[in-house]
Structure formats: C-alpha cells, structure tokens
C-alpha cells in the first residue's frame, strides 16, 4: 500500500521533480555490500569513490591547520562566496599549477564540488533547456533532472577510452545550452587528450559564433576535480588554456577533495565568468552550501604552502598509481590466461575501467550466468569483490564494463582480491 496522509486518508502528493527523482545505484549497491560486511563476510569493496583515511590520510599540514582554526574560534558564518584568504589561495594554486589566471572575484567557494555543479546547472539553464553529457558519467542525469532540463546523452566508446568526441557531440550542439564534461573522468579514470578536447572547444566556438545576441550561448561545465591525479604519459588539459576565447563560456569545478584525499573536509571551488559566478553565489547563499569556516581558513593556509603541497602530491600520487598499476597487471595476467576480463591502462583519478563478461558461464551449482546482473552477483557473492557496473553511470544494463576504485584498498588487498577473483572464475564451466 502506498504512503498516505494519515489525517485525510489520501495519498500524499509531492512535486513532479521529487516524485520522479531516482535514487543512486551506487548507494543501493553500497547498502548491499555493507550488509554483507556486517554479517562477517570478507568483501573487497572496490566501489567507493572516496578514500579510507587510515590508508590515505589528509596532509598533516592541513590537519594541523584545521585543528588550529577551531582552537582560534573560526566557527562563525563565512562570507557567501568564501573567505577572501581562500579565494586568493585558490587563485594562486590554480594559476601556479594550471596557468589559468582568474581574479579572486571570479572564484566561488562551496562545500565540495556537488553544490557548485548544481549551482552551475541552475544558473545557466532554464527549465526545458537541453544538456549534453557523456555516458558513462557521474550524476549528470540527476543534475539534469533536478534542474527540470532535458538530457542529451552521448554514448561513448571503449576505443575512445569512454571519452566523448567532437564528432559524437556535433549533431546536438544547435539545440543545447550546456555541455557537461569531466576530465579526468569519473567513472573511467580516463582523460581527454589535447587534440580531442581542442576539437570539442572549436565546436563550441563555432556554435556560439552562429548564435544571435538574443540567444543564450553554449556553455561548458568542466569538472576537473581529479586533475592532480594523472599518471604516466597522461597530461591534464582544460578548455580555456587551449582556447582562451572560450573564457566567457566555461565554468570550472575544482577543489581539494580528490587532490588531497580530503573528501570529508568539504572545500571546493568554482571559477569562471564573473557574472555567472556572482549568480551562483546568490543561489548557494540561499541554500547555505558553504564550506565550514575553519576548513576554509586551514585550506587557505595549506594551498599556499608549496613545500607541503608538493610533498603530499608526490607520495600520494605514487601510492594511488601503485594500486592502479597493480590491478592492471593482474587483469592483464588473467586476460592472458584466457579469462574473459580486461581493463584500460591507468591514466588518471582513482579508477580503473574493467571489463568482465562472464555471460554464458556456469557456476559449480549448475546456475548459468545469463545477464550482467548475474555477473555482478557472481563477483560480489562468489568472488567477494564489489565493483560498480557502468549502468550505474547511465549505460545500458548489459554493458560488460565496471568501475574499480582504489581509494580504500591496501596493496595487500590488490593482490588478495585478484586471487579471490581468479579462484572463483577457475570454478566456472
């Protein structure tokens, strides 16, 4: 029976947006995994886009600064757009490491990247506007729904490392108001190459030149929260560095969450055109999505400490890369042994894109693995490994690809989980 209004006996009615908002597939999977762990099962949980603080603690200098800020009573409301010191520090950090020059007034501080992404959607879009985003990608379907807009999903391909191309986007640009891009990409851990991003930038430039003065331009939301975590030959590229003429049409999402293993510290920033940043500030000031003041004070101090920043990033990146390379080597060994698994070589972020297609195999009890839901069930219940299927990021349900996250695993877990997977697969007929 549906939920009812107990005073009137009638079904409760809510708004159309809330009524049709779907839950997170990742949270649903996390609930199942946590229940198994509570029952005492050993599960290698590789689903979480987060860090285990016992394995990846925040920088010691940042931790000390946070404690000092609380001791100094930095506990009142911060400024709506972030304290001056932090906007100056974020400006310094971005210009030093990325070469992007924006004024402090073109920066907006918030409680992580999520409210900034939401504010971008609400600021540049009207209800019914169309948003282009790649599939798989993280949460763009939800943000499009929250802003009462229409989605244009670009289905990406493994041969392009699941990154969208200008050719795939081009048929849709005339009707869109926003292109939501992320590089390095959650969930794939892959990143734009220079040429591929330049081609998308040129596409946007041509489209905006075509539009009349009374039309809204085509904007780019550029989520680069993982930009510090690139490995090997991979380099981070961004639109305005490649095409400065796009400066008025790009809104960046950035922060310390992934760069410094500080997801719970909740300090993010956006930067872009002053008018858009000011409107985003107004929206978030009504919501109250500020980063805590003590954490802002501490982050401002830390970001300008070049020695501490560089030392942390050097060791942190190596630790993440070691885990990604460890999983990659294991998957390549399993592939060479004839198992139906594969993965894309690590490029960036904390994720590995893994292919595991066990459809058609038979378990020892005679149960046949028919669907990708069966594969996910086998991985969790037989191999004791939890991965996030790509359908949680918008792909069709029978996609054989998964996201593997290394943010909560030790090197011992890397080897043990792969041994568990091989043992379970070896028993399949």
> Can you give the pLDDT at residue 58?
98
Q: In Å, what is the CA distance from 48 to each residue of 84, 114, 358, 407, 420?
A: 33, 16, 23, 7, 19
Strands 250-255 and 219-223: parallel
Q: SS3 string of the chain?
A: CCCECCCCCCECCCCHHHHCCCCCHHHHHHHHHHHHHHCCCCCEECCCCCCCCCCCCCCHHHHHHHHHHHHCCCCCCCCCCCCHHHHHHHHHHHHHHHCCCCCHHHEEEECCHHHHHHHHHHHHCCCCCEEEEEECCCCHHHHHHHCCCEEEEEECCHHHCCCCCHHHHHHHHHHCCEEEEECCCCCCCCCCCHHHHHHHHHHHHHHHHHCCCCCCCCEEEEECCCCCCECCCCCCCCHHHHCHHHHHHEEEEEECCCCCCCHHHCCEEEECCHHHHHHHHHHHHHHCCCCCHHHHHHHHHHHCCHHHHHHHHHHHHHHHHHHHHHHHHHHHHHHHCCCCEEECCCCECCEEEEEECCCCCECCCCCECCCHHHHHHHHHHCCCEECEEHHHHCCCCCCCEEEEECCCCCHHHHHHHHHHHHHHHHCCC
Mean pLDDT by 10 residues, the chain (429 residues): 54 85 76 85 91 97 98 96 98 98 98 97 98 96 95 97 98 98 97 98 98 95 98 97 98 98 97 98 95 98 98 98 98 97 96 97 94 93 94 92 96 97 95
With beta carbons less than 8 A apart as the criterion, state whether 42 and 35 touch: no
The tokens 């001791």 sit on which residue?
71
CA 46 to chain centre: 15
Q: What is the pLDDT of residue 28?
A: 77
Task: Evaluate whether 113 touches 255 at the Cβ level (below 8 Å).
Answer: yes
CA distance 181 to 178: 9
Structure token pair of residue 42: 């050993």
Pick from 177, 179, 108, 109: nearest CA to 140: 179
Distance of CA 185 to the CA centre of its chain: 6
pLDDT at 5: 54
Check if the beta carbon of residue 239 is closer than 8 Å to that of residue 250. Answer: yes
CB atoms within 10 A of CB 328: 17
Select from 267, 265, 284, 287 the least CA-distant residue to 276: 284
* Domain range list for the chain: 16-56+311-426, 60-305
pTM above 0.85, yes or no: yes
Token representation of residue 85: 């010191």
Q: State the pLDDT at residue 16.
A: 85
How much is the pLDDT for 416? 97
- What pLDDT is attached to residue 7? 52
Per-residue pLDDT at 8: 60
60-305: in CATH 2.40.30.10: no
pLDDT at 320: 98
Residues 6+ apart with CB under 8 A from 36: 43, 380
CATH code reported for the domain at 16-56+311-426: 3.90.1150.10
pLDDT confidence of residue 2: 45
């Amino acid at each position: 029976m549906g939920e009812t209004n107990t005073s009137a006996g009638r079904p409760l009615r809510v708004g159309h947006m809330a009524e049709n908002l779907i839950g997170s597939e990742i949270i649903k999977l996390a609930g199942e995994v946590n229940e198994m762990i509570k029952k005492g099962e050993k599960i290698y949980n590789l689903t979480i886009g987060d860090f285990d603080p016992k394995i990846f603690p925040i920088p010691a200098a940042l931790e000390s600064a946070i404690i000092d800020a609380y001791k100094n009573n930095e506990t009142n409301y911060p400024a709506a757009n972030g304290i001056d010191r932090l906007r100056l520090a974020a400006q310094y950090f971005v210009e030093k490491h990325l070469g992007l020059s924006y004024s402090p007034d073109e920066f907006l501080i918030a409680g992580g990247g999520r409210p900034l992404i939401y504010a971008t959607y609400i600021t540049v879009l009207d209800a019914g506007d169309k948003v282009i985003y790649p599939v798989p990608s993280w949460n763009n379907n939800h943000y499009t729904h929250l802003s009462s807009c229409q989605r244009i999903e670009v289905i990406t391909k493994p041969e392009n490392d699941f990154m969208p191309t200008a050719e795939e986007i081009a048929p849709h640009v005339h009707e869109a108001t926003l292109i939501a891009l992320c590089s390095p990409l959650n969930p794939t851990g892959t990143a734009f190459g220079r040429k591929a991003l330049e081609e998308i930038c040129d596409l946007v430039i041509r489209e905006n030149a075509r539009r009349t003065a009374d039309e809204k331009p085509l904007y780019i939301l550029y989520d680069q929260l993982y930009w510090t975590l690139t490995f090997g030959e991979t380099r981070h590229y961004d639109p305005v560095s490649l095409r400065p003429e796009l400066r008025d049409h790009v809104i960046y999402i950035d922060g310390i969450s992934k760069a410094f293993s500080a997801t719970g510290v909740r300090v993010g920033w956006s930067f872009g055109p002053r008018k858009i940043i000011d409107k985003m500030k107004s929206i978030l000031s009504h919501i109250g999505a500020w980063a805590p003041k003590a954490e802002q004070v501490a982050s401002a101090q830390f970001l300008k400490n070049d020695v501490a920043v560089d030392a942390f990033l050097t060791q942190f990146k190596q630790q993440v890369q070691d885990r990604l390379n460890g999983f990659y080597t294991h998957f390549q060994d399993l592939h060479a042994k004839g198992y139906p698994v594969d993965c894309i070589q690590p490029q960036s972020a904390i994720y590995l894109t893994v292919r595991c297609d066990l459809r058609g195999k038979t378990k020892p009890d005679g149960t046949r693995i028919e669907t990708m839901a069966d594969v996910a069930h086998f991985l969790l219940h037989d191999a004791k490994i939890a991965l996030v299927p790509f359908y949680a990021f918008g792909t069709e349900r029978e996609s054989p690809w998964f996201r593997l996250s290394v943010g909560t695993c030790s090197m011992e877990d890397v080897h043990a989980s792969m041994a568990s997977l091989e043992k379970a697969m070896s028993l399949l007929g």
